[in-house]
Amino acid sequence: MRVREFFDVYRGYRIPRFKLIEHRNWWFTFSGVLIVLSLVGIAVRGFNYSIDFEGGAQISYPLHTGATVQDIEATLAKYGLTGAVQVVSGDSVAIRTESLTGLPDSTKILNDLASQAGISSQDINVEDIGPTWGSEISKKAVRGLVLVLIAITLYIAFRFEWTMAAGAMIALVHDVTITAGVYALTGRLVTPETVIAILTILGFSLYDTVVIYDKVKENTESAALLARMGYTKVVDLSLNQTVMRSVNTSLVVLLPILSLLLFGGETLKNFAFAMFVGVAIGAYSSIFIAAPALVILKSRQMAKRAPQRVPGRPGAPRPRPARVPAADGAQVAVASDAAARSATARQGGDARPRAGQKRRPPAKRKRR
């Protein structure tokens, strides 16, 4: 593709001719590998939950020096601690980390933090807190998510058809599984912001999928186009008509998320990382998973609805004549020739004159 043609396609002046449905096995293989890696990461490594899920310690103290968040995190890292560090108004520090109760180096940790802040260790306030995101909140969140997904499935099935609803749910499970697997494989901290980001990307993925399905429905309503191209090629055409819209929409969303991921604080980075991965995977699944899954489901549905032909009924294929052994071939040929001549004689003569035989002129009618 030339540079000018590329920009014409990118700007929407020309419809591309990508064979997206034809190569659906490639996309399914790639997604299958990602899903297997994600499941292995979740099963083997698990998630790195923050203290919002597991509980921990809330440490707060005044700051009389110019210590930064990175300096405080480095001090905690010396003792194998991680957590959320905030410097409020430049004169106070708030740290959420693992519980210090039972740690042999808890006194050294407090002394190092006090020395770094220019205060006494007695000025540091340490409070053990329980998980703010408990099991009850998780149960309510899962229950609400299931109800929302059921409502979305019913809406798509009512607005379009059930095969599209099933394809959208397949893409949705694909997105959540891979996003969760990325968190498990990278070991990033799972915070409430991460859960909120994952719920947000579900809506974005569904939006992109519904846009593509709406174009498919519009094109398949044309009986002439459907009869000329077939369902698979019509879906492929619909994808080519909407692929650049999906790509441009995803890029517009990804660019500000990327800026948060690079230049935001630690809390914003956790949120931005989940959003970035989810939006990218959602844009991919809408094009390469949802539409091919729709074609497979629709093909099976059409195959079940196709009437099976029964011999003897109108339109049924005629049974082939039985083959005759080679030894009796000459007799069969003679018998067939005789039968043909007798049939011609019954119909009033040969349809065509034989070679060397003159045609008789038509008989003249007598005038009365």
- pLDDT, mean of each 10-residue run, the chain (368 residues): 66 74 91 94 87 80 84 86 77 82 82 87 82 70 83 90 92 91 87 81 84 90 87 89 86 89 77 88 91 90 70 53 46 46 50 54 58
Ramachandran region, residue 356 (left: φ > 0; alpha: ψ -120 to 50; beta: rest): left
Single-letter amino acid, residue 271: F
What was the pLDDT predicted at 324? 45
Angstrom distances, CA of residue 185 to CA of 98, 175, 344: 22, 15, 83
Angle, alpha carbons 243-244-250 (nearest 5°): 95
What was the pLDDT predicted at 10? 64
Helix (H, G, I), strand (E, B) or coil at 339: helix
What was the pLDDT predicted at 102? 75
Select from 181, 180, 96 the least CA-distant residue to 131. Answer: 96
Q: How crowded is residue 140: how many other Cβ atoms within 10 Å of its Cβ?
A: 10
What was the pLDDT predicted at 41? 92
Whether 52 and 131 have beta carbons less than 8 Å apart is answered as: yes
CA 157 to CA 63: how far, in whole Å?
58
Q: How many alpha carbons fall within 13 Å on the CB side of residue 56?
A: 17
Residue found under tokens 């990218």: 280
CA 184 to CA 215: how far, in whole Å?
36
What was the pLDDT predicted at 39? 94
Per the document, the length of the chain is 368
The domain defined by 3-47+134-303 folds into: Multidrug efflux transporter AcrB transmembrane fold (1.20.1640)
- SS3 for 12-23, per residue? CCCCCCCCCCCC
Angstrom distances, CA of residue 259 to CA of 78, 201, 202, 273: 30, 18, 21, 11
What was the pLDDT predicted at 293? 92
What was the pLDDT predicted at 306? 67
Measure CA 126 to chain center: 46
CA 59 to CA 216: how far, in whole Å?
56
Select from 39, 113, 43 the least CA-distant residue to 75. Answer: 113
Task: State the pTM of this model.
Answer: 0.69
Angle, alpha carbons 135-174-160 (nearest 5°): 105
What was the pLDDT predicted at 284? 92
The per-residue pLDDT of the chain, averaged, comes to 79
CATH architecture of 56-129: 2-Layer Sandwich (3.30)
Token readout for 345 is 């004689």
CA 124 to CA 111: how far, in whole Å?
9
Q: Where are the domains of the chain?
A: 3-47+134-303, 56-129
What was the pLDDT predicted at 350? 47
CA 180 to CA 194: how far, in whole Å?
10
Measure CA 144 to chain center: 22
